[in-house]
Structure 1
Amino acid sequence: MSPTAGYGFWLLAAGNAALFIGFAYSFARPLNGRDWRSFGAFSAFIVALFAEMYGFPLTIYLFAGWLQTRWPGVNWFSHDSGHLLEMVARPGINPHFGPFNLLSTVFILVGFWLIAAAWPVLYRAVRRGTLATSGPYARIPHPQYAGFILIMTGFLLQWPTLVTMAMYPVLLVIYFRLAAREEAAAAAQFRAEHAAWAKRVPAWIPRLSSSSRGPAISP
């Protein structure tokens, strides 16, 4: 790709991927094999994302004919056009200030905040051999997984690609399975304490009420 089209910058793609993966690692800091698997899956998603964002726009290349037919006034190989949802909804408008881009920013920031806020709580609990129930764990049982999901959702809204859209449901299954295994292990280890905590905390989405939730269902 010609650099004038906004692509072909592989060093920029690698640098951005390394920056986001390193940023996530500084918050997540995997503690065991399960943590490393979840972090590795997230890292693969980020690499695929930035490879299309700055390297080669595979998704736009494959759909260029259809996109050009539907929206002939748009230069689909300009870098801004990679914000596909914004360009399809409002062609010709600066996509950086559109609703999808703004919502994606919120998701990404909240996701990183969840991961950052959850890690020290989990680290202290592991060191003490106790159940993590404070901080974000007082609202949801798996804030780090929820944080990774929010970040991936935000990037999909901002820059959807065929590869990341294919990876997204697979990664959801991975996180749901890891969460179910961790919850089962915690229930076996902490028994009554875990049962009391599980009644107060919703499975994934926090709520304002303190009503009980049912037992978690493994995907």
Structure 2
Amino acid sequence: METLQSHFHNWFGVLFFTVIYSLVFLFLPFYKKMDKKPAGTYLAFVIAFAIEMHGIPFSMYLISWIIGKNLPEGILWGHTLVSSIGFTGMYINMGCSVIAMCLIVNGWHNIYKNYWSKETGTGSLVKKGVYKYIRHPQYTGLLLLSFGMLAEWATVPMLILYPVMINMYIRLARKEEKDMIAEFGEEYREYMQETKMFIPFIV
């Protein structure tokens, strides 16, 4: 109990994790207004994670107040299901973070090198690197990064925001694909048939 309680009221920790998880924005495109809402939802998710992990466990207080008794450790406060799986959620988060950053940075590198950096403002359709396997590696990475946080420290706001965020990024990806079809035509349609949207060989 004392170990878990030591997480709270650490506002430097709140700021640190908010900044760390927000660094992914440096590797994501923001060239359209509609990108801002999904990004804002992700930022809200990160802030909820950081505050409830290191600041104040609002979910624990709220649910405890509603049901009239304290929640057990790991249920909407503390490491997720810590009494059943120990710190497994924390290790899942670490693994998800590594994979997510590889996807995001590899996606950014290939897009920047072969599309954005062209002097004319246009470039070729990117099918190299991770784009050989999925069409939206950066969004997959962002959602995987968020899932890792949820696996480590699930709270009410995060459980609400995560499916909302999935829906928003799916809609954003579909909108971007319409733009790609308008730009590359049949070449992009063929690419869509050959490559999955978010998860290789699955979806």
- TM-score bucket (shorter structure): 0.7 to 0.9
Per the TM alignment, residue 52 of structure 1 is displaced from its structure 2 partner at its CA by: 0.5
1:55 aligned partner: 55
Residue matched to 1:67: 71
8 Å CA contact 1:86–1:101 kept in 2: the answer is no
Q: State how many pairs are aligned.
A: 190
Structure 1 runs not aligned, ≥5 long: 69-75, 214-219
Task: Provide the TM-score with structure 1 as the length reference.
Answer: 0.76
**CA–CA distance in structure 2, aligned partners of residues 143 and 54 of structure 1:** 30
CA offsets 1:97-118 (integer angstroms, 9 cap, x no match): x2x3322221121111111110
Taking only the aligned residue pairs, the percentage that are identical comes to: 26
Partner of 1:20: 21
Give 1:163 shift. Answer: 0.5
Instruction: Tell me the distance in 1 between the aligned counterparts of 2:11 and 2:3.
Output: 10
1:61 Cα deviation after fit = 2.5
Give 1:8-47 correspondences, 5 Å limit.
8-21=9-22, 23-28=23-28, 30-47=30-47
Q: Which structure exhibits the higher relative contact order, with contacts defined as CA atoms closer than 8 Å and separated by 6 or more residues?
A: 2
Q: Give the gaps of 5 or more residues in structure 2.
A: none
Question: Which sits farther off after the overlay, 183-192 or 40-49?
Answer: 40-49
The alpha-carbon distance between structure 1 residues 192 and 58, as it changes in their structure 2 partners (threshold 3 A), is same
**Preserved contact between residue 27 and residue 119 of structure 1 (Cα < 8 Å):** yes
One-letter code of the match for 2:81? L
Paired residue type of 2:78: G
Cα distance in 2 for partners of 1:19, 1:169 equals: 22
Alpha-carbon RMSD across the aligned residues, in angstroms, is: 2.6
Shift of 1:5: 2.6
Call closer, same or farther: CA 1:197–1:29 in 2, change over 3 Å: closer
- TM-score, with length taken from structure 2: 0.82
Matches of 1:196 and 1:4 in 2, distance apart? 52
Q: CA deviation at 1:203?
A: 2.3
